[in-house]
Structures are given as C-alpha cells and as structure tokens.
A and B are shown apart, each in its own frame.
Chain A
C-alpha cells in the first residue's frame, strides 16, 4: 500500500504497516531534553525507582540551553542535576554554550533520515528537515523513553505541503512557514503531520527547511517532514538513503506555497497566525530586535543579517541582539568575520542560548516595548512583560528593522 513518509517511518519502527489512528508503542532512535524539561523528567525517574534507569544511553542527550549560562540559582541547580544524571547513566551532556538542543541534535549526526526523534520540547519538530519523524513530548514521556526506550504514539494523518516556484532574494524559510500559518491558522494542523514536496524544495537549503519544520508546531502539527532528497543527502554527505512519500500516498489535505509570489511576511502580536505582508506594518517603532533562536539562529540567518547591517548602524535607541543557535554556528560566524560585522554595526552578539526567545534572560522586554524577533512565538509575555509586543519575522526583515528603528521591508536592502 502507498505510504506517506510518516507511515513509512513509523511502520519501520514497529515492524508492520501502520495507518493513521493506530496507537503504537514506538522505540525512539534519539531522545533528548533541556534544562526547562529535564529536571521534571529526572524527578519523575527519581521518585519511581523502577524508572531510575536508562535503556539506551547512546540514544539519549541532555542539553543545557534554556537558561544558559545560569542567570539565577534555580537554573544553576537544574544544570547540576542534569550533569549528575548524565554522569550517573553515561548519557551525552551538551553543556553551557554548546547550543540550542534542536540545532545541536542536527549537528550531532545522531538524527538520520527515517529516525524517530522524541524531544521534551515542542520545537523538536525542527528535525523533520532531516527527513526524521521528530516530535515534541512532555517530561513524563521523555522519562519513559529514557527509562524504557519507548513511548506511545498515535499515528497521525498527513497533510501535503506543496512548495513550488522560485523565491526572490529577500524571501526565506521564515516567510515560507509564516505563509503556511497564514493559510492554515494556529490550530489548522492539530494532531497531523505535514510533509513537504514540490519543485520549490530545491531552493530551500537544509537550514531554511529547519526554520519551516521548526514552526509547523505553531499550527499544531505533530511533525513537519521534508524528504531525504539531493539537497539533504549532500548536506549529510555520508551515504544516507533517500526517503520520499509514495506517489499514491493518501493525504487528508493539501496546502500550496508558491515561492515565486511570496513576499516578506510578519506575524503581529499576540498570535503566530496573524500574518501580514511586511508592507502592512512598516513604520511601527521598534525597541528591540532579536536575531537567533532554534527558528533562525543558523549561519545563513546571520550571513543575511550581516549583508544588510554591513557598513550600516543599528538605529540609536534600538537594541539588536544576535544569538547563534550553536557554538559551531558561532565559530563559523567568527571565522568568516560575520560576528565582527554585526558587532561593528552595533549588535550585541552573545554565545548560544534560548534566553531572549523565552524571556529567560539577555533581553527581557518591558511594558509597552516592541520587538521584532526571528523566534517562533509572540504570545503575551513570551519575551518579558505581558504588555510588550512581539512581531515575528525573518532575519532579513529583523536586520532591516534594526537599521531603520521601525519595522522595515528588507527588499530595499536585498535585490
């Protein structure tokens, strides 16, 4: 029977064909948690001696990224707890500064086309860009996966996301996923997987795809999967096998994203699906610009920002905070002089952390302040005070806004 990528991956996991609606007990290839979710998972394991074990230490990782380096004692304590757990069970620990968990996992080589990846963070879906079935779960779930190697899943229905055309220079993966959110809304893909196909895929690098997969959860999706095509296989560069949906696979719905007609988009507060053309909100005054996060903290994101900021200055009165998603990204940016360009333009460039995106540290917004952020959520209070306002946009739009001090169209800078 013709299968979606979701069905192929999950069927291989349980050793028999599965169909949407089936409940399965699935063994994870990779399981990870961060300092926001690992402490509760460790607590569950400690309180239940029959769970105080790790079935497959080589498949498990703990990542210190959410409040990193620790801005307060409680975070420091969480990190201590994680380090102790990692030593006790011999699992990988990615410590302060190594990066945001999803980026670190993408770089680790652990995630392969066809992998089942479970992470105790909603943005685990990011790894769907590597043709994995990757989905976020809670702390109890991840504790079960750590202890027993598996947890339960309901096989989701899949939606086909057809990406066609050729994008203009100021358009990137962020605009693609904002267009998706505009079309389907904040609960339009709830419980479902979305699988991306189409001739436009060849214009989307793996980094851009990670931005798209990252935000499918903002539409409620369980996974956002790209095929293992030539773009991915050459990025992996290690002889991984292709993975595509069968041509006759059954999808419950279809969404079409035309790159050729796409313009820079922006999501107005307070919801991710309040998506407008950047021209509709141009001129809104900005207090802070944040370029980074698991959504847009990769090399290309900062290279694009630097193209706009090079030889220009961040407008006086604006804080422009740039945070690479991993140490590896940071080192590449250093090597290529991009950190220097950003710093010269007046950006605050920090080591890798989730900090500003979740209002943890490094750029908390005050009441009444406005931010343009390349992150993934603009709910009230997400980055600080509940009466601050967050506009979500691409690194290009964010950088243009930093230069002008108001929400600005990046097409003036990139053509």
Chain B
C-alpha cells in the first residue's frame, strides 16, 4: 500500500479540537460533509479547499490529542489526506484512524526536515517513508500484519464485511 502527495506541516500537540472543533460535531447528524469546511480551520485556513487527494500531514508529537471524536480522522480522509506522519500520536486518534482506514505513521526524522509542499511517499508494506524533495528516507516500525490488512481493506468495517470477523481470533458476539 503506497501513498504519495504534498506535505502539510504542523507542530506538536495538534488536538482533535484543532482538527475539527467539538462545536461542529452535531452537524454530522445531517452529513459529515457539512463539517468539511471547518477542518483544521484555525490552523490552516481554507485547508479543505486547498488539500489535494494523497496529500500528507506531517506533524510533531502527540498528534490527535484530546477528544475521542472519530470525526477528526474521518474528515481528514474525506478531504483526501492519504496519510498522517507524526513523531507520536494520541492513542484514540491512532486507533480511530486505523479503524477507518487512514494510515498513521510514526517517524522520527521526517517531521524534522519536511517543509510545506515537499513530496512525501509512504510505503506501508515496506515500512518506509520518504521525503523526495529533501532526499531523506526513513524506515518505521512496521504494523502488525492484521493492522495492514485493516488499512488495505479501507477500514475495520470493510474488513469484517469481507472476512466475516475481526483479523484477530477469539470472542464471539
């Protein structure tokens, strides 16, 4: 699984409130699309119009901290974001992103050297992220096979639809 796009660089501690403010979440009742113009609005004005399919967010530490709202990764994916690369992630954002099929990659070096607009390539199966504009390549700790399968299916719901059960055995509903 491969993602290629332009980088949008953010700092440390980008919260789910920054990604999509809690005050908009009731708009999701009618449609998630109605929230899209507010995506990252206080951080990158006009982001939802400027982003192109495959673009990559490159952030610092603790990306997605705060609320459990799944609207945050869903809207990033809906806007066309192909992957989020960060030094670390808040855990609920991290699992929400996997569950909805948005690749999330922990990288040490790439966030330090990337500028807005650099071309980023991510190869999930190889476990490699590269900044082509800077000529820097970094290996990341590969996902467990089951998680790659979920991302490949486009999310855990799609995975279960296809296979009938979670990629992990045990427990019956």
Query: Which of A67, A72, A190 is within 8 Å of B62, CB to CB?
Result: A190
A14-B170, A72-B26 known; A381+B21 contact, CB < 8 A: yes
B99 close to A140 (CB less than 8 A): yes
Residues from chain B with Cβ under 8 Å of A40 in the complex: 28, 70-71
CA distance A144 to B90 in the complex (A): 21
A149 close to B171 (CB less than 8 A): yes
A23 close to B146 (CB less than 8 A): yes
A side interface size, CB within 8 A: 58
B23 close to A77 (CB less than 8 A): no
B side interface size, CB within 8 A: 46
B173 close to A148 (CB less than 8 A): yes
Residues from chain A with Cβ under 8 Å of B155 in the complex: 140
A222-B91, A381-B21 known; A74+B96 contact, CB < 8 A: no
Residues from chain B with Cβ under 8 Å of A23 in the complex: 144, 146, 168
A141-B96, A149-B173 known; A382+B29 contact, CB < 8 A: no
Give the Cβ gap from A181 to chain B, nearest Cβ, in Å.
12
CA distance A23 to B88 in the complex (A): 19
B173 close to A147 (CB less than 8 A): yes
Task: Tell me if B95 is interfacial: C-beta within 8 Å of chain A.
Answer: yes
Task: Tell me if B134 is interfacial: C-beta within 8 Å of chain A.
Answer: no
Query: Which of A74, A138, A190, A191 is within 8 Å of B70, CB to CB?
Result: A138
Instruction: Name the segment of B11-19, B46-54, B111-119, B122-130 touching the other chain.
Output: B11-19
Residues from chain A with Cβ under 8 Å of B26 in the complex: 36, 67, 72, 74-75, 78
Complex interface bits, A19-61 against B, C-beta within 8 A gives 1, otherwise 0: 0000111110000000011011000100010110101100000
Complex interface bits, B148-173 against A, C-beta within 8 A gives 1, otherwise 0: 00000001110011000010111111
B146 close to A379 (CB less than 8 A): no
CA distance A35 to B17 in the complex (A): 17
CA distance A220 to B18 in the complex (A): 17
B95 close to A51 (CB less than 8 A): no
Residues from chain A with Cβ under 8 Å of B120 in the complex: none
A37 close to B61 (CB less than 8 A): no
Residues from chain B with Cβ under 8 Å of A386 in the complex: 42
B171 close to A150 (CB less than 8 A): yes
CA distance A25 to B30 in the complex (A): 33
B66 close to A137 (CB less than 8 A): no
A residues 60-118 with Cβ under 8 Å of B?
A: 67, 72, 74-75, 77-78, 81
Task: Tell me if A121 is interfacial: C-beta within 8 Å of chain B.
Answer: yes
CA distance A190 to B86 in the complex (A): 14
A186 close to B168 (CB less than 8 A): no
Task: Tell me if B108 is interfacial: C-beta within 8 Å of chain A.
Answer: no
Query: Which of B25, B160, B172 is within 8 Å of A36, CB to CB?
Result: B25
Task: Tell me if B69 is interfacial: C-beta within 8 Å of chain A.
Answer: yes
Query: Which of A27, A48, A138 is within 8 Å of B68, CB to CB?
Result: A138
Task: Tell me if A122 is interfacial: C-beta within 8 Å of chain B.
Answer: yes
Give the Cβ gap from B117 to chain A, nearest Cβ, in Å.
26
Task: Tell me if A213 is interfacial: C-beta within 8 Å of chain B.
Answer: no
A187 close to B65 (CB less than 8 A): yes
A78-B26, A78-B29, A140-B96 known; A25+B157 contact, CB < 8 A: no
Q: Which of B25, B27, B160, B169: most chain A CB closer than 10 A?
A: B25
B residues 5-42 with Cβ under 8 Å of A?
A: 13, 15, 17-18, 21-23, 25-30, 42
Task: Tell me if B58 is interfacial: C-beta within 8 Å of chain A.
Answer: no
B62 close to A220 (CB less than 8 A): yes
**Chain A, Cβ-Cβ closest to B32:** A40
Chain A to chain B contacts (Cβ below 8 Å), 24 pairs = A23-B144, A23-B146, A24-B168, A27-B171, A36-B26, A37-B69, A50-B160, A56-B173, A74-B27, A77-B29, A124-B68, A136-B92, A137-B68, A138-B70, A140-B96, A140-B157, A144-B156, A144-B166, A149-B172, A150-B171, A152-B146, A186-B65, A187-B65, A382-B17
Q: 8 smallest A-B Cβ distances: which pairs?
A: A148-B173, A138-B70, A138-B96, A55-B173, A74-B26, A187-B62, A149-B173, A25-B168
List chain A positions with a Cβ less than 8 A from chain B.
Answer: 14, 23-27, 36-37, 39-40, 44, 48, 50-51, 53, 55-56, 67, 72, 74-75, 77-78, 81, 120-122, 124, 136-141, 143-144, 147-152, 186-187, 190-191, 220, 222, 271, 358-360, 377, 379-382, 386
Supply 5 further A-B pairs (C-beta < 8 A) apart from A36-B69, A151-B166: A37-B68, A140-B156, A141-B96, A149-B172, A190-B91
